[in-house]
């Protein structure tokens, strides 16, 4: 296996591992107007970002889907997240429609603590949502908010995973960090939760959370890249525990595409550089997500 030095080398990377492609649980597609505002916030070092974050893949939806296909990303999400009331239902309509017309896209949805959240979350499930996204850091709300208690219970009962950005990076608020989400898990221990960005910067606490709870997992989004290591370096003494989680099905590839200040290939190269073994890379880059999301075998192209 050779780590990719550019996006053009990504297919050779997963082919060298004997994989059918890549499965990425942390990809964003948003309504165009909202996406432009998100990109502007990143590039202007807005208060929720706190540093310059130039977007490399400032392309149309069609161009970005084509690039994922060229990379060999056979399964990917369209994660949207509501940061204020009266957004989530419309976002769900858009992302679920996007998945219906985009091969390889996992039907994705979101929610926010507001009146009506139970209704539109149930509607999203009935419409086929297979993954949810909640962004506590951007949304500025407690994941243990009373209005969300029933929602967590319904999603836990359905066995649908939720990608949760609850780590304090890049800019902390009173609702980020391990304890607010630990309160959710104490009430809903069967919840299938994927902690985004390995829980950065509280890596150790969220790693322990994944070890404690059967259905808590981590995604690799931006972890170990030069950009992210400059902000929140992962403590290398904990790599053996991260390796164990990967081989146990509890670590999944995430990228944050297209909101990247570097090439997609750097995420894969950073994981390969950890030297955790090809079996670990196979699990992280494909098998764990394929098992969790019950992905069908990719169609040969």
pLDDT tens digits for 157-201? Answer: 999 999 999 999 888 899 999 999 999 999 999 999 999 999 999
Q: Does residue 195 fall inside a structural domain?
A: yes
Instruction: Give residue 214's Cα distance to chain centre.
Output: 19
pLDDT at 253 over 60: yes
Of 13, 25, 50, the C-alpha closest to 252 is 25
Q: Is the pLDDT of residue 300 over 60?
A: no
Residue 234, domain member (yes or no)? yes
Does the residue 1 lie in any domain? Answer: no
Helix (H, G, I), strand (E, B) or coil at 101: coil
- Give pLDDT, residue 43: 84
Mean pLDDT in residue range 64-92: 97
Domain extent, residue 96, equals: 7-293
Nearest by Cα to 162 from 120, 114, 108:
108
In a domain, 299, yes or no: no
Tell me if the pTM is above 0.85: yes
Residue 14 lies in a domain: yes
Total domains present in the chain: 1
- Is residue 129 domain-resident? yes
In the chain, % of residues over pLDDT 70? 98
Share of the chain above pLDDT 90, in %: 88
For residue 179, give the CATH number of its domain.
Answer: 3.20.20.140
pLDDT over 80 at 51, yes or no? no
For 110-148, what is each residue's pLDDT tens digit? 999 999 999 999 999 999 999 999 999 999 999 999 999
3-state DSSP percent of the chain in helix, strand and coil, to 5: 45, 10, 45
Residue 214 maps to a domain: yes
**Domain presence at residue 301:** no
């Amino acid at each position: 296996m050779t780590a990719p030095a550019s996006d053009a080398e990504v297919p050779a990377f997963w082919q060298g591992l004997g994989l059918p492609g890549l499965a990425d649980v942390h990809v964003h597609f948003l309504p165009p107007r909202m996406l432009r505002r998100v990109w502007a916030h990143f590039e202007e070092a807005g208060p929720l970002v706190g540093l310059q974050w130039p977007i490399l893949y400032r392309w149309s939806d069609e161009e970005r889907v084509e690039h994922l296909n060229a990379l060999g990303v056979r399964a990917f999400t369209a994660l949207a997240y509501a940061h204020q009331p009266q957004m989530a239902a419309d976002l769900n309509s858009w992302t679920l429609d996007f998945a219906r017309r985009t091969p390889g896209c996992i039907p994705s949805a979101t929610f926010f603590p507001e009146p009506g959240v139970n209704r539109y979350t149930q509607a999203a499930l009935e419409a086929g949502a297979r993954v949810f996204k909640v962004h506590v850091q951007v949304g500025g709300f407690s994941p243990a908010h009373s209005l969300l208690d029933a929602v967590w219970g319904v999603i836990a009962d359905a066995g649908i995973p939720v990608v949760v950005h609850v780590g304090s990076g890049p800019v902390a608020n009173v609702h980020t960090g391990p304890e607010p989400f630990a309160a959710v898990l104490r009430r809903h221990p069967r919840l299938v939760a994927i902690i985004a960005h390995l829980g950065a910067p509280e890596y150790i606490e969220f790693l322990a959370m994944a070890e404690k709870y059967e259905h808590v997992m981590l995604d690799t989004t931006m972890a170990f890249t030069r950009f992210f290591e400059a902000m929140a370096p992962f403590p290398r003494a904990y790599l053996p525990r991260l390796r164990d989680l990967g081989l146990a099905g509890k670590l999944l590839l995430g990228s944050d595409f297209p909101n990247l200040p570097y090439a997609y290939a750097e995420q894969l190269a950073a994981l390969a550089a950890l030297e955790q073994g090809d079996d670990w890379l196979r699990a992280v880059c494909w098998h764990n997500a394929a098992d969790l999301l019950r992905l069908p075998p990719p169609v040969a192209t």
